[in-house]
Amino acid sequence: MKTKSNYSNKKILVLGLAKSGFAVAKLLKKMGSEVTVVDSNPLEGNTEAQALIDAGFKVITGSNDASLIDDSYDYLVKNPGIFYSNELIQQAEKLEIPVITEPEIAYSYADATMVGVTGTNGKTTVTTLIQLMLKHSPKFKNSYYAGNIGIPISDVIQKATKDDVVVTELSSFQLQGTIDLHPHVAVLNNIYSTHLDFHKTRSNYIKAKMHITKNQTADDYFVINYNTEEWRDLAKQSNAQILPFSDNQELEHGAYVKDDVLYCNGEKIMTADEIQIPGEHNVQNALAAITVAKLFDVKNEDIIEVLSSFRGVRHRIQYVDTFGGHKFYNDSKATNVEATIVALTAFKAPITLIAGGLDRGNGFDELVPSLKGKVHNLVVYGQTADKLISSAKKADIDNIVKVDNLTEAVPEAYKQSDDGDVILLSPAAASWDQFHTFEERGDQFIQEVETLKGDVK
């Protein structure tokens, strides 16, 4: 196991717990760091904080005051979702203490081959598909996934050996806090405008995303969507070998679609209709995964087996149930307009859409073309409800119902919909106005569908 010396005997403050903070604190201590953990939540009910205290860590709860850090610290490792406007982070920056995130620590410890995946939409699907395909690679003993997918990288890299591969989903929040992170293969699935409340500008958001390739060399690979001129220009910033993919053009080198057949470097892989998960966007996701799989000598039959059997990731256009003439899909991971547009284009049947959530200050008029003629009924809730209503009226949707919460939204959507409708939760907004995470929101949707099914019967 390679333990780099840059974190041993260093004094490090970990800000924010949850899964990644808890995992990185333990890893840092294993690496020989002096660790202090700060979490704004009170100790009562804070199981991660109590577990670290029981393990002998110094833990401060109920505060994140700027006075908790001074110039004796070497690093601050922050929870990715904590804004840089946080007063403790601001104080660290004034003291010129590097502010980093968990992947930076984890990557420095890894012996395994590392594949990093980022993008505005499709990260989880692509990460999962790559991991499943690389199980069949003759170059690796084991294939793992980790990161923003819900499993801390700091946990996985401690069991992954030099004979293994770890496929990591990396958000812009995580990537912004990296300095030396260096995946052997980096994947950029796409870039749209989102999380601007955090990054402030699209330029900042793109810069954070491009951290995934900034340390790559000519010995590495950058797999990137070539669908737009902007994304093709981003490829020029990388020092790695470029492996492009596209579903809107034929490529001399790379993965592409022609006459509904998926190719990689001119070799036929499979037909598009063999992909189990619905939607044109999943053709792009498949192309990204195929590109990585072929790099590591995965056979076509194994690629086909994965793509023809994979039914989708939880909370991303996830099929839930069918009853009463309706199919229910959970797309809680659609935390932005672009993700909801992708979901709407995945279905041919009429849609009853459930949407709404945290108001980040953006409008929803970009949804109008995708709503028009596709969404027959709209049920909205949350902080963005009125904005969604305004945009829906521009799309000529007549049947719009506003409710208080998701518990009310599911039976109302069923009531408003017709036989043959898809009832789709695709919020186009973050969950944080009424939920802690999009996973919690999606899980409640599934529970409400189960409750409704019992009531209908």
Helix (H/G/I), strand (E/B), else coil: 258: strand
C-alpha to C-alpha distance for 437 and 121, rounded to whole angstroms? 17
C-alpha to C-alpha distance for 417 and 225, rounded to whole angstroms? 37
CB atoms within 10 A of CB 252: 8
Task: Tell me the CA distances in angstroms from 10 to 7, 32, 95, 181, 356, one per residue in order.
Answer: 5, 8, 16, 19, 44
On whether the CB atoms of residues 147 and 174 are closer than 8 A, the answer is yes
**For 166, phi and psi rounded to 5 degrees?**
-120, 120
Q: Which amino acid is at 337?
A: V
C-alpha to C-alpha distance for 73 and 95, rounded to whole angstroms? 9
Maximum Cα–Cα distance across the chain: 65
On whether the CB atoms of residues 353 and 426 are closer than 8 A, the answer is yes
Half-sphere exposure of 248 (CA within 13 A, CB side): 7
Instruction: List CB contacts of 300: < 8 A, sequence separation 6 or more.
Output: 267, 269, 270
Provide the terminal-to-terminal Cα distance of the chain, rounded to the nearest Å: 57
Residues at the annotated binding site for ATP?
119-125
DSSP states of 170-190: --HHHHHT-SS---SEEEE--
Nearest CA-CA partner of 40 in 70, 81, 7: 81
C-alpha to C-alpha distance for 330 and 425, rounded to whole angstroms? 5
Helix (H/G/I), strand (E/B), else coil: 208: helix
Q: Which amino acid is at 16?
A: G
Strand 113-118 with 11-15, pairing: unpaired
Residues at the annotated binding site?
119-125
Instruction: List CB contacts of 353: < 8 A, sequence separation 6 or more.
Output: 344, 371, 375, 377, 378, 379, 424, 426
C-alpha to C-alpha distance for 435 and 305, rounded to whole angstroms? 36
Nearest CA-CA partner of 48 in 179, 152, 132: 152
Nearest CA-CA partner of 356 in 327, 334, 328, 330: 334
